[in-house]
Amino acid sequence: MNGGVPGPLLRRRLRRVLAVWLALVLLAGLTVATAYIPLGPANMAINVFIAAIKAVLIGVFFMHLAGPYAVPRIVCAVAAVMLAIMFALSGVDYYTRDGRDGNPAAHARPS
């Protein structure tokens, strides 16, 4: 027993977690700050880019997607495919509406 002093590996992990946490907090602050800057359509693109950076940081460091095991990467890939399918289905629903009242177009009924 070393008197409760964490070993060098634990200290290195703690520093890495704190650095990633600080980066996430700064990126969240940057997201809030961009809401007050009138950038027009670029505002959305910048915020989506910042969100993508945050998602990569969380995936790599907290979900261990860069680790040696394939199962977390497979689960993440399946989740991404399911999300893409849901976006595609929502897009199909949106683009097949007639646009008048938000309801699907009425089909002619045979008499």
Alpha carbon distance 41, 2 (integer Å): 57
Please tell me the predicted confidence (pLDDT) of residue 95.
81
Question: Would the pLDDT of 100 be above 80?
Answer: no
| Averaged pLDDT for residues 46-73 | 92
Picking from 12, 84, 28, 20, the residue whose alpha carbon sits closest to that of residue 58 is 20
- The answer to whether residues 54 and 30 touch, using CB atoms and an 8 Å cutoff, is no
Q: What is the pLDDT of residue 64?
A: 87
Say whether both 71 and 30 belong to one domain.
Answer: no
| pLDDT band of 111, cuts 50, 70, 90 | low
What percentage of the chain exceeds 70 in pLDDT?
82
Contact 97, 104 (CB under 8 A): yes
Same domain, 13 and 31: yes
User: Please, what is the angle between helix 8-34 and helix 42-57, to 10°?
Assistant: 170
14-50: pLDDT as tens digits:
999 999 999 999 999 999 999 999 989 899 999 999 9
Average pLDDT, the chain: 86
- pLDDT at res. 102: 59
Shared domain check, 55 and 29: no
In a domain, 104, yes or no: no
The span from the CA of 31 to the CA of 23, in Å, is 12
In this structure, the answer to whether residues 22 and 57 fall within a common structural domain is no
94 and 52 in a common domain: yes
Q: Which two tokens stand for residue 111?
A: 């008499």
What residues make up the domain containing 29? 7-36
Confidence of residue 106 (pLDDT cuts 50, 70, 90): low
Kindly state whether residues 31 and 81 are assigned to the same domain. no
Q: Which two tokens stand for residue 19?
A: 């650095």
